[in-house]
Chains A and B, each alone.
With several copies, the nearest count.
Chain A
């Protein structure tokens, strides 16, 4: 049972664990994108958290969650090219906006921010659930937050992470209909979508560091 207050410091730790999780699994992410895309997803995501590092360090100690989420957003929106970088940036931006100026992140703010982030990503990227993209991890995460009611934020995030991983595992059986993999027809089937994994890593990092993907991609 985690303490119910999710303040600036805890948000900073969340961002720090996200970076650790990305670095730890970068090679596995690369391997996934080599099978289903062009192999640069691990590098792209790592570039994002690397760019976020100094921005997070510069946030004042007294700051609230919005400023840490904003630092992530700026890094991913402004420093990472490719497809996934700016999409992650849109999610962080929406979550930061929903967090507002207050000292704590509420379950309500998480719910709103994730929903708005999902909407922005779908507006810009035009993917529907089932198209085998990061939407297939983010949509279930948003649903879990929607169903979390008045649960403490950390519990709500743990539930969102669970659902995101379930979504990731489902992408393995989907045929890609968006992005590069779609031009190859059947060839990408069987491989989970790397972008979706990235989303699950983010929510998981709210409660702990992920050091290996294998156990989470494995069973059902």
Chain B
């Protein structure tokens, strides 16, 4: 509370969205009554609207990726809370095109349920709707977790690739197939050296003993299943990269797209250090690094940590990745 600059408890997200809407009025529209953001300009060839959403606190995800070549709309929930199904339903209606609407959903129970209910309402309303589920978090890849792997960093990569595919006029089925296939070829691992601070209290969500890292941490302040000792960033990145490669087994035709992502308050110096180590490990393992992003793309408020995402990509995926994009947070 003292720590956060805000106008009062519960105002953080609403105030941010209205500031965001003004700051990027050339790119997006904000429907304050129903709580969603839509793109002002989209490719005329697009036949399916792309909608994403989830809890707030992960900025620039998702509203930062609304714009040309990426998302048609985004529904931000309260901090770390799923958006409401009505919000999703109305946003879906607003962005649906003749070919329907595609929901890009991170695998969390609340998100699945609310997007699911919205989908049932859309079916009622005669609007075609399908879902791509993002579930890249290797730390939650376990027999004991029926809920499946969480969705995290890969979301940005999928939204980019699917946006470019949608711009070619690809239909709902094609997008689901492309996105689902791609989601299976993405894995992420995250570590943190300090928790985020809860907006309500200004206190850290958890306290780590000095010299320990939360290894396999999520993006909602939930702790990881285990901690580990702090190591040099070289050792840490090598261990993480090898775990990701083992899970992914990129084919001989594949190269990888890497996302080195800050979770909130890790410095840019550290992120570039991580990227340097990642590059070295991939070189040593003979894996071609085709594309990369280094920065804060999927955050957890002000958590001090980073995540590594690898996506095994073929030529066609890279072409979609390279297509122009113009959103508040991603542009080329």
Out of A81, A126, A182, name the residue touching B81 (CB < 8 Å). A81
Out of B84, B120, B222, name the residue touching A183 (CB < 8 Å). B222
A16-64: which residues lie under 8 A (CB-CB) from chain B? Answer: 38, 40
Q: Is A179 in the interface zone, CB < 8 Å from B?
A: yes
- A38 contact set on B, CB distance < 8 A: 80, 220, 222
B116-156: which residues lie under 8 A (CB-CB) from chain A? Answer: 116-117, 120, 140, 144-147, 150
B6-44: which residues lie under 8 A (CB-CB) from chain A? Answer: none
Given A124-B112, A124-B116, A179-B109: A81 in contact with B144 (beta carbons within 8 A): no
Q: Closest Cβ of chain B: how far from A127's Cβ, in Å? A: 8
Contact present for B146 and A131 (CB under 8 Å): yes
A100-131: which residues lie under 8 A (CB-CB) from chain B? Answer: 120, 123-128, 131
Q: Closest Cβ of chain A: how far from B93's Cβ, in Å? A: 15
Q: Closest Cβ of chain A: how far from B116's Cβ, in Å? A: 4
Most chain A CB within a 10 A radius of its CB, from B109, B112, B140: B109
Binary per-residue interface labels of chain B (91-118) against chain A in the complex, 1 for a CB within 8 Å, 0 otherwise: 0000000000000000011101110110
Contact present for A83 and B113 (CB under 8 Å): yes
Contact present for B86 and A182 (CB under 8 Å): no
Contact present for A185 and B144 (CB under 8 Å): yes
CA distance A82 to B79 in the complex (A): 11
Contact present for B220 and A182 (CB under 8 Å): no
Contact present for A81 and B84 (CB under 8 Å): yes
Contact present for A81 and B82 (CB under 8 Å): yes
Q: Is B223 in the interface zone, CB < 8 Å from A?
A: yes
Binary per-residue interface labels of chain B (75-89) against chain A in the complex, 1 for a CB within 8 Å, 0 otherwise: 001101111111000
Contact present for A184 and B225 (CB under 8 Å): yes
Q: Is A139 in the interface zone, CB < 8 Å from B?
A: no
Q: Is A87 in the interface zone, CB < 8 Å from B?
A: yes
Out of A78, A178, A185, name the residue touching B146 (CB < 8 Å). A178
Contact present for B223 and A125 (CB under 8 Å): no
Contact present for A86 and B146 (CB under 8 Å): no
Out of B86, B109, B144, B222, name the residue touching A83 (CB < 8 Å). B109
Q: Is B199 in the interface zone, CB < 8 Å from A?
A: no
Out of B77, B112, B218, B222, name the residue touching A125 (CB < 8 Å). B112
- A40 contact set on B, CB distance < 8 A: 81
Contact present for A86 and B144 (CB under 8 Å): no
Q: Is A175 in the interface zone, CB < 8 Å from B?
A: yes
CA distance A185 to B146 in the complex (A): 11
Contact present for A178 and B147 (CB under 8 Å): yes
Contact present for A83 and B146 (CB under 8 Å): no
Contact present for A82 and B81 (CB under 8 Å): yes
Contact present for A183 and B113 (CB under 8 Å): no
- A79 contact set on B, CB distance < 8 A: 84
CA distance A87 to B81 in the complex (A): 15
Q: Closest Cβ of chain B: how far from A19's Cβ, in Å? A: 21
- A80 contact set on B, CB distance < 8 A: 84
Most chain A CB within a 10 A radius of its CB, from B86, B146, B150, B220: B146
Contact present for B80 and A86 (CB under 8 Å): no
- B85 contact set on A, CB distance < 8 A: 77-78, 86
- A89 contact set on B, CB distance < 8 A: 117
Which chain A residue lies CB-closest to B114? A86
Q: Closest Cβ of chain B: how far from A186's Cβ, in Å? A: 9
Can you list 25 A-B pairs with a CB-CB distance of less than 8 A?
Answer: A38-B80, A40-B81, A78-B85, A79-B84, A80-B84, A81-B77, A81-B82, A81-B84, A83-B113, A87-B113, A89-B117, A90-B117, A124-B116, A124-B117, A175-B144, A177-B147, A179-B147, A180-B220, A182-B144, A182-B145, A182-B146, A183-B145, A183-B222, A184-B222, A184-B223
